[in-house]
Amino acid sequence: AEDTGLRVELAEEDDCSNSSLALRLWVEDPKKLKGKHKDNEAIEFSFNLETDTPEEVAFEMVKSGFFHESDSKAVAKSIRDRVTLIKKTREKKPAGC
Amino acid sequence: SSLTQVVHSAGRRFIVSPVPESRLRES
């Protein structure tokens, strides 16, 4: 959240059994967002490492009214950063997480 | 619970719930 003001974390333990993850996103630093958004609300969603893209999820969140169009890049970046970290963790610990 | 709201968009499900106080950074 240090640069986007958004925080993304695993909503459930990653058992590495499949490509689907449960993630949770919320606004940690409202001052860093440009458009209207709902404070104090966490948005939980599933993310498939093989088929989903952070941009697509961000677009759906903007369409659903969670964030303003001007923040979709920040939302996508926050999701991308977390997914990249999870992929690296999975590569390091192939024996399950 | 009444505090949780489910939103569907293009086949994706978003579950909205309050962020626990402990997780909110003091702004």
Residue from B12, B18, B15, B25 nearest A48 by CA:
B12
Amino acid identity at B3: L
Task: Say whether pLDDT at A70 is over 60.
Answer: yes
Please state the ipTM of this predicted complex.
0.84
d(CA B14, CA B3): 14
Q: B27: nearest CA in chain A?
A: A29
Sorting pLDDT into bands at 50, 70 and 90, what band is A60?
A: very high
Amino acid identity at A8: V
Percentage of chain A modeled with pLDDT above 70: 94
d(CA A78, CA A80): 5
More confident site: A50 or A16? A50
Which of 13-72 (A) contact B at CB < 8 A? 26, 28-31, 38, 40-46, 57, 60-61, 63-64, 66
Question: Does the distance separating the beta carbons of B10 and A43 come in below 8 Å?
Answer: no
The DSSP call for residue A97 is -
Task: Say whether pLDDT at A13 is over 90.
Answer: no
Question: Does the distance separating the beta carbons of A60 and B14 come in below 8 Å?
Answer: yes
